[in-house]
Structures are given as structure tokens and as C-alpha cells.
Amino acid sequence: MDRISLSQIFSQGLRGILNGQVAVSKTQAQLSSGLRVTVPSDDPAAAAQILQLDQTQANIDQYKKNITGATNNLTLEDSSLADVSTVLTRVRELAVNAGSGVLTASDRQALAAELSSRLDELAGIANSRNSNGEYIFAGFQGQQAPFIQSATGYSYQGDAGQRSVQVSSSTYVPVNDSGKDIFVNVASTRLPGTATSTNTGNATIAMGQIADPTQFSASFHGPYTVTINTTGPTPTYQVDTVPAGAAVATGNYVSGEAITFNGAKIDIVGTPGNGDTFTVTAPSTQDTFTTLTKLAKGLTSLSDSPDDKQRLTDLVSETLDNLDSAETNINTVRAKVGARLNILQSTSDLQDGVGLINKQVLSQVRDLDYASAISQLTQQNVVLQAAQQSFAKISSLTLFDFIR
């Protein structure tokens, strides 16, 4: 028959009491925190799942912050572009006014003054900043004002960068458009024309137009030079290819009368010197600031002479065409911004749904069932009390009690 020593009795009794206290303490901690798993040892498998769910929720929260920031940026951009459209609409009204043919020099000066104000207003909008103080149309150069005024007009100082933010595990949304794409790279349907610096006459060339799109597309391979010959009784012109020098059109020169060739049409106004030349190139781009600046300068510099009236007519026509291109460009960008805002809204709704499901699963895995925990705590208290009372009884059944 095995004998139980006194030390064993006390050790086993103490162990039972301590185990009961640990169980009670653990359940009390769960009740106070509301969590079923407070440390990984409570449920290792659940702890690993909780860690994964917490990471997923952290990602969702970050995506939601990104969506909010992106929405704010794009809303500001759309509002700014709407303001640009308002400015361009007023500029169009001024241009139409300027071309009415009944304005005096002082009237044109007044229009030019308002155009200068509208130009400054446009620059202010183009240099808008967001809530973080970054220029929204500067591309990646958010700390640099994108449009700087100099003696020759406004120049773009930003870049063509487009910043994007992640709004889901696989979705990135651009949050800005560069001023280069919006205000600088504006496609022009006009043909740039320049006078050679060595010309001796006072003739000027207006930007050309596409008279026949089909013929232009098939045969216009600029640049071309237009040379005026005044040695004969009637001035003549000759249009040549560059650099081959092959003549493509000839005719009599009349100031302001259209010169047509290869589907293009140009106007040269004034009195040219013998051998004066002009260069015509294919359509390119013209920034919106240059469009407004050229009109304002023309209104202040052109007189009421027949030649200048023709120049003003050409300038107004050119301005209206370039305003059409600028407004088309603005509307295209605004459509893209609207599409991005729609993506952000649908992605936000998706993240809300995923987040709700994630929180429900997390609650099922981690949160405490209070009714079950309270019942368990009651049971554990009974066990602990039983262990304490049993130890008190057993510890008194020793040899020393009989000796007494």
C-alpha cells in the first residue's frame, strides 16, 4: 500500500487551488475585455485567423482613407475645370464682340483690358492648390507653381506626371491631371504660319485653315514656304515644299485673299517686299494662355486700317477655333474625372461591404459569448471553492492531529 506524504498532500491541494484561480482569472479577463481570445494560447488557430482579419481590416481602413483623399482631389479638380469653362465662355463672348466690325479703338482697348483680367483669372485657377498646399495641375511637381508669367506670357513649369492611389488590392485611380495635358497640349486645327525675319515688307500671315479635309489628309506634307514676287505688274505668290523646293501652287497675290493648296487655305495681309517668304506647317498645338494673349495683343495693336481689320477678322476666327479645341479638351478631362469619381464611389461601397463582412467574421472568432462565459465563471468558482474546502479538510487529517 502506497503512502501519501504530507508534502504531496499540500502540493496537490495547492495545485488544485491555483488551477482553479487561473481558470477564474482567465474567464474574468475575458468578461472584462469582451474578447474570447485575449492571448494566442487561448486558441492558437483562432489567434492566427484574428491576425489575418485584423490585417485585412487595416487594409480596408487605409483604402477608405485613400478613397476620401482621392475624392477630395478630383472634386476640387472638377470644380476648377468648371471655373475654367466659365472663363473660356466669357472669352468667347469677348472674341465675338471684337469681331463685330463696329468697335472703335477705345472699345477694343476695353475688351483687351478685360481679356488680360480673364487671363490672370485663368492662371489663378491653373495654379490652384489642394488642402495639403500642393498645386493640383503641376503633375509630380506639387510644390512648384505650374504656370509662371514672364515678359513673353505664361510658361508651364510642372511636368506631365499623373499621381495614382491604391483604392483596393488591384485598383489604382489617378488623382490629378497635369496642366500640360489640360492647358498646354491643346490640339489646334489651324496651320501655324510665320514670316521670315528678313522680310522687308509689312505683310503678315494668319494661321491657316484646313479647307478640304480629304485632300489635306492625302496631300499636305508640310512645311511649305510661300514666296511673294513683286517685280511684275501684278504681285504673285509661289508655294513650295520644304526642303525639296517643288512648287505646289502659284497665283496672283492680293492682300487678304485666300491662298489655297493641298487642301489648306492661308491668308497673307499687307504689302510684302519682293522675295518675302512665309512658312506654313502642319497643325500642332497651341496652349490656352497663348490663345488669350494673342487676342489681347491684337486688340491693342491693330488699327482701323483695311489691312488691320482683315488681320483682326483672321485673329478672331483663329481664336474661336482654338477656344473650341480648348473647351473640347477641358470637357474630355472632366469626363475622365467624372469616371474616376464613379470608380471611387463604387469601390468605396465595395470596401464598406467587405469591411462589414470582415467585422462580422472577426466578431464570431474573437468576441465573447457572455452568457456562456458567465455560466463558466460560476462553475469555475464552485470548483475553486470546492478545492479550497477540500484542501482545508484533507490538510487537517495528519498524524499530528492524532498525536494531539
Residue-wise over 191-222: b if at least 16 C-beta within 10 A, else e?
A: bbbebeeebebebbbbbbbbeeeeebeeebeb
**Residue 218, domain member (yes or no):** yes
* 174 and 236 co-located in one domain: no
One domain, residues 207 and 271: yes
User: Is residue 289 domain-resident?
Assistant: no
Residue 42 within a domain: no
Q: What is the pLDDT along the chain (404 residues), one digit of tens a residue?
A: 455 555 665 566 566 666 656 655 665 665 666 666 677 776 788 778 878 888 999 999 999 999 999 999 999 999 999 999 999 999 999 999 998 878 888 889 999 999 999 999 999 999 999 989 999 999 999 999 999 998 888 999 999 999 999 999 999 999 999 999 999 999 998 999 999 999 999 999 999 999 999 999 999 988 999 999 999 999 999 999 998 788 999 999 999 999 999 999 999 999 999 999 999 999 999 999 999 999 999 999 998 889 999 999 999 999 999 999 999 999 999 999 999 999 999 999 999 999 999 888 877 776 665 566 666 656 766 666 666 666 666 655 555 555 55
CB-based contacts of 242: which residues, under 8 Å, 6+ apart? Answer: 222, 223, 224, 225, 279
Query: For the whole model, what pTM was predicted?
Result: 0.80
Q: Are residues 199 and 180 in the same domain?
A: no
Rounded Cα distance, 354 and 312, in Å: 62
Closest CA to 195 of 244, 228, 241: 228
Instruction: Tell me whether the omega of the peptide bond preceding residue 146 falls within 30 degrees of 0, making it cis.
Output: no
Single-letter amino acid, residue 350: L
Residue 296 lies in a domain: no
Q: Which residues of 339-365 are buried (b: 16+ CB within 10 A; e: fewer)?
A: ebbebbeebbeebeebbeebeeebeeb
Name the residue range of residue 156's domain: 57-187+320-354
